[in-house]
Amino acid sequence: MPNSNRLTINLQAIQNNLAHMMAELPSQTRLMAMVKANGYGTDLTLLAQALSKMGIHCLGVAHVLEGIQLRERNITLPIFVIHTAANEVQEVIEHSLEVAVYDPSFCHLLNQEALRQKKQVKVHLDITTGMNRFGCPPEKALELAQTIHSLPSLDFEGVMTHFVAPEIPTFDSFSREQIEIFKKCIEELALGSILPPWIHASNTAAIRRFDLPFCNMVRVGIGLFQPENVLTLESRIASIHQCNKGENVGYLCGYRIKRDEERIAVISIGYHDGIDLRYSGKGYVLIHGKKAPMIGLICMDFMMVDVTDIPEAQIGDSVLIFGKELPIQTVASWATPNVRELMTALGPRIERHFIHMDEILESSSIQETICSL
């Protein structure tokens, strides 16, 4: 039975976005694709499978469980994990995951488990330069790097930091302070002859706004999905009915009919599917290419729109929630400036449909796309 809600993911558009980004980076730059949060709301494993054919050097996830899911689907690319709990070190090593480290006791724990399994584990030294979420203080970075270097089962693979707000110009002075702090740490590691092969700080926004010549790896997340449109979310009209002036629509009488008669359509998507209550009454959808304003409070499973001015609208018609003709950035702005929030909130009832998967999996390299730009 067909699903009323479908998210279409255009893999060719992702490849084009990556090609544009790679064309602007030094040729030796290593690309880490962040596929955390279910591949930014798409599908973790299917997205990773496609990216493995696009010239990506490694994948990034937030949690160990995500990395294990990828390994269980035979993803062989290096996988970097942002956070690892102490009780997850056995699985990290069993599944050959790379991890961020920022605490000497955790490094010793990793080393002990790796010795027990007779394996090596690759680690990235995480230095906090202002985020203060994870990471060791800059003044302790050299000492921790020396600890990593001294432990026989740890391979010192990378050193990293994380920007606070590289996309916001009013934070530029703070971002530059972060860059200087990180650069100083890198210089100290180099002087101590314990600099790992990969140095990374930039996410998508930082790649586009700051020059970090001392780094040779970037972490791309939202940049997979822009500037070329990748995602299209569609639903369907479940019901249409006439309402008279003065009647109310929805929970808490959230909307009152203003005209003598209004034609109200019920759409088969709601806040369980990721269309947050904050969008209530603030935006519109497209039906037959025409705007249908959202009215009333968005429900758990449905939402209502005004189709009075779209007389051709019928039950079963396709409804564009966002896509090329209605950019996701526009839709997100009605409730939040963060498009990632909308993407990663998309619920499990929405069918995910990847297009151009066969072409991507059969292709040999993204270099052909870069050359065609």
The predicted-structure confidence for 201-247, as pLDDT tens digits, reads as follows 999 999 999 999 999 999 999 999 999 999 999 999 999 999 999 99
* pLDDT tens per residue across all 373 residues of the chain: 568 999 999 999 999 999 999 988 998 999 999 999 999 999 999 999 999 999 899 999 999 999 999 999 999 999 999 999 999 999 999 999 999 999 999 999 999 999 999 999 999 999 999 999 999 999 999 999 999 999 999 999 999 999 999 999 999 999 999 999 999 999 999 999 999 999 999 999 999 999 999 999 999 999 999 999 999 999 999 999 999 999 999 999 999 999 999 999 999 999 999 999 999 999 999 999 999 999 999 999 999 999 999 999 999 999 999 999 999 999 999 998 899 999 999 999 999 999 987 877 776 554 444 444 4
Say whether both 37 and 147 belong to one domain. yes
Say whether both 23 and 155 belong to one domain. yes
The CATH number given to whatever domain includes residue 25 is 3.20.20.10
Per the structure, the count of domains in the chain is 2
Say whether both 197 and 292 belong to one domain. no
The CATH number given to whatever domain includes residue 269 is 2.40.37.10
Q: Within a domain: residue 249?
A: yes
Residues sharing a CB contact under 8 Å with residue 304, sequence separation 6 or more, in sequence order: 249, 250, 255, 264, 265, 266, 267, 294, 295, 296
Say whether both 176 and 253 belong to one domain. no
Residue 337, pLDDT score: 82
Residues sharing a CB contact under 8 Å with residue 300, sequence separation 6 or more, in sequence order: 270, 271, 272
Say whether both 94 and 189 belong to one domain. yes
Q: Within a domain: residue 102?
A: yes
Say whether both 164 and 301 belong to one domain. no
E-strand ranges in the chain read: 6-10, 30-34, 58-61, 79-81, 98-101, 121-126, 154-160, 198-200, 217-220, 231-244, 248-249, 255-256, 261-267, 284-287, 290-295, 303-306, 318-322, 351-355
Q: How far apart are CA 35 and CA 59, in angstroms?
A: 7
Residue 59 tokens, joined: 């994948």
Which one of 225, 251, 271 terminates a domain?
Answer: 225
Say whether both 120 and 194 belong to one domain. yes
Range of the domain at 112: 12-225
Which one of 225, 244, 266 terminates a domain?
Answer: 225
Q: Within a domain: residue 352?
A: no
Say whether both 216 and 272 belong to one domain. no
Say whether both 124 and 161 belong to one domain. yes
Query: Rounded to the nearest 5°, which phi and psi values hold at 159?
Result: -135, 140
Q: How many CA atoms lie within 13 A of 91 on its CB side?
A: 16
Q: Within a domain: residue 363?
A: no
Say whether both 292 and 190 belong to one domain. no
Say whether both 209 and 295 belong to one domain. no
Which one of 225, 251, 267 terminates a domain?
Answer: 225
- DSSP for 226-247 reads TTTT-EEEEEEEEEEEEEETT-
Say whether both 178 and 275 belong to one domain. no
Residue 55, pLDDT score: 86
